[in-house]
Chain A
Amino acid sequence: MSSAASTPAFRIERSTRTSWIGLVLAIAIVVLLVSVPWWGGEDDLRLIVEICYTIALAQLWNLLAGYAGLVSVGQQAFVGLGGYALFGLTILAGVPPLPAIVLAGVIAALIAVPTALIVFRLRGAYFAIGTWVIAEVYSEVMGLIRDLGAGTGMSLPVAISRHVGETRFDREASLYYVGLVIGIGTVAVVFAWLRSRQGLALTAIRDSETAAGSVGINNDRTKYAVYLLAALVTGMIGALIYLEKLRISPDSAFDVIDWTADIIFIVVIGGIGSIEGPFLGALVFFALRYFLADYGAWYMILLGAVAVVIMLLAPRGLWGLVADRFDIHFFPVRRRVRLE
């Protein structure tokens, strides 16, 4: 008897029926989003850009905390550095704003190299607080630079924002497409990363660091790569945010609530450790904000309470509940063995 006969026939599935439906749906949504500047107003454009970069930040934080076990409370460091890099590059070095967004990401990633060497000395929860200290350090250092407005911050000169578009609407439309590219690009990169060998390693680390190490995964190098990727894209997002806001200050650029707390709540509520989770979390976040915007502090109290309850009762978030019940995967990153 040949050994082939005793081995059951099987194939590896990397997509599901829902993932094909998801792909069609995603293309339809992208086409719709591309057309918005022809029929939408400035407010619509701004809101969609905000949703795009919020989802992108959530995807990156999810990649860090949900997969690599790097629970960072300091991602505001890279939003702030990206924003300040944009102001520095355009005002002090005369770089046009759109290329400056990409360069700002590169600068953030370069700063992340030594940063990682320091914070990676701390493990688990201490890593979390360590990243926060680092963010404070960058915030205070930016507050010392006179050419960038020191502690009070500064505005972007009108001449520079003119580079982006002559009229106000042109500027909004250009930034809209940049936001769309960053938002969709981030999801695509995270998806591709998780489907690659790197992603397989990351998923193994997510499930058990010890086991991952024992099958030959270099845990530290895998985590390092994720940390730098997150810094690069977060830096670009920071540059986009402050190109749109036109004004930067250390307190706003390195704000832990806006750039990390909200993002953590989105990922926890939506579902940590899945690509679908941050989308669902962002939906809940923007819906809550829409309905509760007038209640100020109560809104944050409610958001925090919802996140605490979900963490305790459904640690894999709302998406975890849906995925377990209906076996839906819009972003198939898993490999499944099917016997034939």
Chain B
Amino acid sequence: MDWINGILQGALIGGLYALFAAGLSLMFGVMRLVNIAHGDLIVFAAYLGLVVVQTLGLSPFVSLVIVVPTMFVLGYILQRGLLNFTLGGDILPPLLVTFGLSIIIQNALLEGFSADSQKLQAGNFETASLHISDQLAIGWFPFVIFLTAVAVIALLELLIYRTALGRAFRATSDDADTARLYGVRNRHVYALATALSLAVISIAAIFLAVRVNFDPASGPARLLYAFEAVIIGGLGSLWGTLAGGVVLGVAQAVGAQLNPGWESLAGHLAFLAVLILRPRGLFPKLVD
């Protein structure tokens, strides 16, 4: 029964990875920008949550009311003020600039908050669980994480396929130059994509901060999980990304059941297995 509980828990935590991955996927989809600082921005949002919780005395989940809009605005500024200048044919500038940004964010957090690990407290909610039978129980918190991931991805799908902004996203994704001819303001659209991406990952960041300890160096591991979920799910498909997150979460849970030290290794190995057996992911949509 430990096994079933562990795997179920892992599948639900997969929702968290899917949220990390949705932000990464959105930026890549719209402007072919792979943001190496993605994980560090997640950790940055977690620290922002920490500051809001500590200064205003709010509960972590209420702090989202401030953290999400702040990250949205920061994302817009980041794209217009910096990342837009890296876009073009060459892959080196975006890669190396976001890599530099990643190191800058990590060290700025280190300077501001020290290397001590932090955590947000959400009281009983963290450990409360829903009993299904005597032996089977689902944690409320992982359950809420998963439902949030499903809701966020459904909203993103609606936005991408049903709104004018989504049409602009898809148009620039297909052919940025032609989209401009039709009056799409590319730089503004890119900035909105990054803003949206950071808004999504700040929700994930607060969940992360309630679930586990974090410190300024926690970012790269989140980037790798997000990346693995995207590749496992298949490029260009947000529902695929959710599946990728679940596969990753289950693999980590299985690894952890076998030996507590194997948790992240098992996730990495699942990713490599998919890369070897199905290099385009489980549910590919985009040809790239």
Contacts and interface: CB of A to CB of B under 8 A. Distances in A.
Interface of A: 65, 69, 71, 73, 118, 121-126, 128-130, 132-134, 136-137, 140-141, 143-144, 151, 256-257, 261, 264-265, 268, 272, 296-298, 300-301, 303-305, 307-308, 311-312, 315
B36 A128 contact: yes
Given A137-B265, A300-B106, A301-B103, 4 more contacts: A65-B92, A132-B224, A133-B272, A297-B110
10 tightest Cβ-Cβ pairs between the two chains A and B: A125-B34, A297-B107, A308-B100, A304-B103, A304-B104, A140-B265, A304-B100, A300-B107, A297-B111, A124-B91
B271 interface: yes
A272 B96 CA distance: 11
A8 to B, nearest CB: 35
A141 B90 CA distance: 35
B227 A133 contact: yes
Interface string B239-278: 0000000000000000000000110110011011001100
B268 A308 contact: no
A303 B91 CA distance: 21
A286 B141 CA distance: 48
5 contacts: A71-B92, A137-B268, A141-B265, A264-B96, A265-B103
B264 to A, nearest CB: 7
Contact of B100 (A73, A126, A134, A305): A305
A251 to B, nearest CB: 10
Interface string B78-118: 00001001100011111111011101101110110000000
Name the prevailing secondary structure of the A interface residues.
Answer: helix
A268 B95 CA distance: 12
B128 to A, nearest CB: 32
B261 A129 contact: no
Given A65-B92, A73-B36, A312-B86, A126 B103 contact: no
Contacts of A305: 100, 104
B60 interface: no
Contact of B101 (A124, A140, A304, A315): A304
A16 B95 CA distance: 34
A137 B269 contact: yes
Contacts of A141: 265
Interface string B27-50: 010000010100000000000000
A27 to B, nearest CB: 34
A262 to B, nearest CB: 9
A270 B223 CA distance: 28
Nearest to A268: B96
A124 B107 CA distance: 27
B231 interface: yes
Contacts of A257: 103
A196 to B, nearest CB: 24
A311 B36 contact: no
B279 interface: yes
B31 to A, nearest CB: 12
B34 A126 contact: yes
B233 interface: no
B34 to A, nearest CB: 3
Nearest to B115: A297
A132 B39 CA distance: 13
B275 A118 contact: yes
B220 interface: yes
A137 B276 CA distance: 15
A301 B104 contact: yes
B272 A118 contact: yes
B215 interface: no
Contact of B85 (A125, A130, A132, A312): A312
B27 to A, nearest CB: 11
B91 A304 contact: no
A123 B93 CA distance: 16
A205 to B, nearest CB: 13
Nearest to B101: A308
B275 A311 contact: no
B272 to A, nearest CB: 6
B93 A312 contact: yes
B80 to A, nearest CB: 14
A132 B223 CA distance: 10
A113 to B, nearest CB: 14
Contacts of A137: 265, 268-269, 272
A71 B99 CA distance: 11
Contacts of A140: 261, 264-265, 268
A311 B91 contact: no
B275 A298 contact: no
Contacts of A123: 288
B107 A129 contact: no
Contact of A315 (B91, B93, B265): B93
Given A301-B107, A312-B85, A151 B261 contact: yes
B103 A300 contact: yes
Contacts of B95: 71, 124-125, 128
Most buried by A among B85, B100, B108: B100
A304 B36 CA distance: 13
B220 A132 contact: yes
B268 A133 contact: yes
A308 B104 contact: yes
B107 A133 contact: no
B125 to A, nearest CB: 32
Contact of B224 (A125, A133, A297, A298): A133
Contact of A129 (B34, B90, B104, B269): B34
Contacts of A118: 272, 275-276
Nearest to A121: B279
A296 B112 CA distance: 12
